[in-house]
């Protein structure tokens, strides 16, 4: 509802306007003011969206009230109430940006018309602000995810992490981490589970920071950093197991406590590894309770994910490729732990396999990779690959569009040469190496007509040129692909409005 000030020193006029507004069905909450001074006070106190101000009021008149309101509420829409004989303030009203005026005594239709225009303008402003807010929120989410990925993969210096902590008004560097999910129900995870978990953290005096991530299978993951001066005491106080009793799909992995900013990445990796080992029997696991020697996650996971990434890129599925590559980097990190050189070496191998496969298939140049894996960390390689994914999907889409264009150009060229021969859709499709059904769709897309209509048009246009040059009707029909003279005559007349012979006589006599 929008807040509307109605200021008039005449009670009957004021009440009448308020009644009209209330009965109009328009989204206004009316606030009445007996004079200009009261109008200013109420407008500022209520942050009014619009104001109907009688020009002639004692002490502070409508013009003066409008000036004071616009000083503090520049977006407040002003409408003046006046009589024709006394509206000598036109220039001042324009200067104040008055949206309209209402002549007293006010007529219902006129008042509703003015109020409707105010609603349209207010709605437009609200929509614009909402769109801007959504755009800004989207940008912030992207920046937040980029930061989190760099944090998770150890791509941030302790100094940068401390800077982020300062921006979040977090004064300590110690704490612990956990990652949880409750299936792929976003509303359940974000709307019910997350507030209860973060609430439990705050209740005990801890500061939670959450990062949302969506896995390849659609599961919504929440990575939570809990900051506390004494993280060892914080872990048992937040009973995460209780949430598995409430939600059957709840899974949670906990990492070891960290005492400094440069150990946050290790804790995040530990919590993710613990999460990946959870199941229905053990829905909540702490990293310290995992077996000392954790076996490899999957013997063929590298090959499977590489193949999946290549397929996604070939289909220009940018989102799919990014999700699969995120899983690849996560598993790489967990498989090789703190062995950074091994992580980099395997990562470089994956990049070469994927980029060379795409280069061979689409002639898309691979990204510029460092000559030595020792010169760049895994987080940087991940960012390089993200840029490559976007570039590749864009170029694959362009290539696909160009490919369709090239195919149709080949079809057109073939038909212009062979139109007089016995020819069919299947013949043309076989010539360019595509399915006949797809060939039919190409014609519809590029010409908006069928293959038969297109071929008939070519043949009849060619026959018309032959007739103009004096060729006998029978020869013109035969040389343009028609073996049945009667059918040719009917088709020709339908297209040109005259039988072939008359058409020829008309053009030869010109």
The CA distance from 11 to 16, in Å, is 8
E strand map for 138-233: 175-181, 207-214, 220-227
Tokens 């020193």 found at: 9
Q: Does 114 share its domain with 33?
A: yes
CA distances from 11 to 18, 54, 327, 396 (A): 10, 12, 70, 71
Domain assignment present for 371: yes
The Cα angle at residue 336 between residues 335 and 341, in degrees rounded to 5: 150
- Host H or E run for residue 28: strand 28-33
CA distances from 162 to 147, 256, 266, 338, 387 (A): 13, 20, 16, 22, 27
pLDDT classification of 41: cutoffs 50, 70, 90: very high
The 10 Å Cβ neighbour count of residue 110 is 14
Q: Does 373 share its domain with 427?
A: no
Which of 138-142, 228-232, 367-371, 407-411 is least confident?
138-142
Last residue of a domain, one of 240, 260, 289: 289
The CA distance from 296 to 286, in Å, is 18
Q: Does 253 share its domain with 205?
A: yes
CA atoms within 13 A on the CB side of 314: 13
Q: Does 237 share its domain with 258?
A: yes
Domain assignment present for 363: yes
Which of 207-211, 227-231, 330-334 tops mean pLDDT?
Answer: 207-211
Q: Higher model confidence: residue 371 or residue 101?
A: 101
Q: Are 177 and 184 in contact (CB under 8 A)?
A: no
Tens of pLDDT, residue by residue over 254-272, are 988 898 988 898 888 888 8
Domain assignment present for 412: no
Instruction: Count up the domains in the chain and report the number.
Output: 4
Which of 129-133, 206-210, 322-326, 416-420 is least confident?
129-133
Give the pLDDT confidence score for residue 6 in this predicted structure. Answer: 95
Q: Is the pLDDT of residue 109 over 80?
A: yes
Q: Does 173 share its domain with 208?
A: yes
Domain assignment present for 423: yes
Give the pLDDT confidence score for residue 93 in this predicted structure. Answer: 53
Distance of alpha carbon 201 from its chain centroid, rounded? 32
Domain assignment present for 414: no
Q: Is the pLDDT of residue 423 over 70?
A: yes
Last residue of a domain, one of 255, 289, 323: 289
Q: Higher model confidence: residue 481 or residue 336?
A: 481
pLDDT classification of 376: cutoffs 50, 70, 90: low
Domain assignment present for 405: no
- Host H or E run for residue 265: helix 264-276
Q: Is the pLDDT of residue 76 over 80?
A: yes
Give the pLDDT confidence score for residue 300 in this predicted structure. Answer: 67
Tokens 């994910």 found at: 305
Tens of pLDDT, residue by residue over 131-141, are 655 554 444 45
Q: Does 505 share its domain with 424?
A: yes
The CA distance from 147 to 391, in Å, is 21
The Cα angle at residue 394 between residues 393 and 400, in degrees rounded to 5: 85
pLDDT classification of 99: cutoffs 50, 70, 90: low
Q: Does 63 share its domain with 107?
A: yes
pLDDT classification of 86: cutoffs 50, 70, 90: very low
Identify the CATH number of the domain in which residue 235 sits: 3.30.70.2690
Q: Is the pLDDT of residue 216 over 80?
A: no
Q: Are 221 and 327 in contact (CB under 8 A)?
A: no
pLDDT classification of 29: cutoffs 50, 70, 90: very high
Tens of pLDDT, residue by residue over 158-173, are 888 888 888 788 888 9
Helix axes 340-362, 378-418, angle to 10 degrees: 10
Give the pLDDT confidence score for residue 231 in this predicted structure. Answer: 76
The CA distance from 402 to 396, in Å, is 10
Q: Does 78 share its domain with 112?
A: yes
Identify the CATH number of the domain in which residue 44 sits: 3.40.50.2300
CA distances from 48 to 16, 39, 43, 76, 395 (A): 20, 10, 5, 6, 52
Q: Does 175 share its domain with 248?
A: yes
The CA distance from 122 to 266, in Å, is 51
Give the pLDDT confidence score for residue 249 in this predicted structure. Answer: 86
pLDDT classification of 142: cutoffs 50, 70, 90: very low
Q: Higher model confidence: residue 39 or residue 447?
A: 39
Q: Is the pLDDT of residue 151 over 90?
A: no
Q: What is the mean pLDDT of residues 373-400?
A: 75
Q: Is the pLDDT of residue 40 over 90?
A: yes
Q: Is the pLDDT of residue 88 over 80?
A: no
Domain assignment present for 407: no
The CA distance from 211 to 144, in Å, is 8
77-82: strand order across its sheet: 28-33, 2-7, 50-54, 77-82, 100-103
Q: Does 223 share its domain with 337?
A: no
Give the pLDDT confidence score for residue 297 in this predicted structure. Answer: 45
Give the pLDDT confidence score for residue 301 in this predicted structure. Answer: 74
Q: Is the pLDDT of residue 147 over 80?
A: no
pTM: 0.43
Q: What is the mean pLDDT of residues 262-286?
A: 87
Q: Does 164 share its domain with 118?
A: no
> Tokens at residue 218, please?
């659609």
Tens of pLDDT, residue by residue over 331-345, are 777 777 667 777 777
Which residues form the domain of 502?
419-509
Last residue of a domain, one of 247, 265, 289: 289
Q: Does 284 share its domain with 387?
A: no
Q: What is the mean pLDDT of residues 470-483?
A: 90
Q: What is the mean pLDDT of residues 447-467?
A: 90
Domain assignment present for 79: yes
Compute, in degrees rounded to 10, the torsion defined by CA atoms 45, 46, 51, 57. Answer: -40
Quote the mean pLDDT of the chain.
81
Q: Of 286, 335, 279, which Cα lies nearest the Cα of 176?
A: 286
Q: Is the pLDDT of residue 295 over 60?
A: no
Q: Higher model confidence: residue 216 or residue 76?
A: 76
């Amino acid at each position: 509802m929008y807040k509307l000030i109605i200021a008039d020193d005449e009670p009957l006029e004021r009440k009448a306007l308020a009644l009209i507004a209330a009965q109009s069905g328009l989204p206004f909450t009316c606030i009445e003011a007996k004079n200009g001074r009261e109008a200013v006070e109420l407008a500022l106190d209520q942050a009014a969206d619009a104001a109907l101000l009688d020009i002639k009021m004692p002490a502070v008149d409508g013009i003066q009230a409008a000036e004071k309101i616009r000083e503090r509420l520049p977006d407040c829409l002003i409408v003046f109430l006046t009589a024709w004989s006394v509206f000598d303030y036109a220039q001042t009203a324009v200067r104040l940006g008055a949206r309209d005026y209402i002549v007293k005594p006010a007529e219902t239709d006129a008042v509703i018309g003015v109020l409707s225009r105010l609603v349209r303008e207010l709605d437009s402003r609200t929509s614009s602000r909402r769109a801007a807010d959504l755009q800004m929120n989207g940008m912030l989410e992207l920046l937040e995810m980029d930061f989190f990925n760099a944090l998770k993969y150890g791509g941030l210096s302790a100094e940068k992490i401390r800077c982020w902590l300062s921006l979040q008004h977090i004064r300590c560097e110690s704490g612990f981490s956990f990652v949880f999910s409750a299936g792929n129900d976003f509303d359940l995870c974000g709307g019910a589970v997350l507030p209860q978990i973060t609430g439990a953290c705050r209740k005990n005096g801890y500061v939670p920071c959450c990062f949302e991530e969506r896995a390849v299978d659609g599961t919504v993951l929440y990575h939570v950093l809990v900051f506390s001066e004494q993280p060892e005491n914080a872990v048992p106080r937040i009973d995460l197991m209780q949430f598995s009793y409430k939600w059957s799909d709840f899974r949670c992995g906990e990492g070891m406590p960290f005492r400094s900013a440069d150990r946050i990445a290790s804790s995040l990796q530990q919590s993710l590894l613990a999460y990946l080992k959870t199941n229905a029997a053990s829905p909540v696991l702490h990293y310290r309770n995992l077996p000392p020697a954790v076996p490899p996650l999957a013997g063929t996971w590298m090959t499977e994910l590489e193949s999946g990434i290549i397929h996604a890129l070939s289909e220009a599925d940018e989102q799919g490729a990014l999700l699969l590559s995120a899983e690849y980097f996560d598993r790489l990190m967990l498989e090789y732990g703190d062995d950074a050189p091994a992580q980099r070496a395997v990562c470089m191998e994956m990049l070469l396999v994927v980029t060379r496969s795409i280069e061979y298939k689409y002639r898309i140049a691979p990204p510029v990779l460092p000559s030595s894996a020792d010169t760049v960390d895994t987080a940087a390689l991940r960012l390089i690959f993200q840029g490559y994914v976007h570039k590749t999907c864009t170029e694959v889409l362009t290539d696909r569009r160009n490919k369709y264009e090239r195919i149709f150009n080949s079809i057109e060229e073939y038909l212009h040469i062979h139109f007089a021969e016995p020819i069919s859709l299947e013949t043309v499709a076989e010539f360019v190496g595509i399915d006949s059904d797809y060939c039919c769709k190409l014609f519809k897309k590029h010409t908006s007509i069928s293959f038969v209509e297109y071929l008939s048009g070519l043949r009849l246009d060619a026959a018309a040129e032959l007739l103009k040059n004096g060729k006998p009707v029978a020869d013109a029909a035969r040389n343009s692909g028609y073996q049945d003279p009667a059918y040719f005559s009917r088709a020709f007349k339908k297209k040109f409005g005259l039988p072939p012979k008359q058409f020829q006589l008309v053009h030869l006599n010109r």
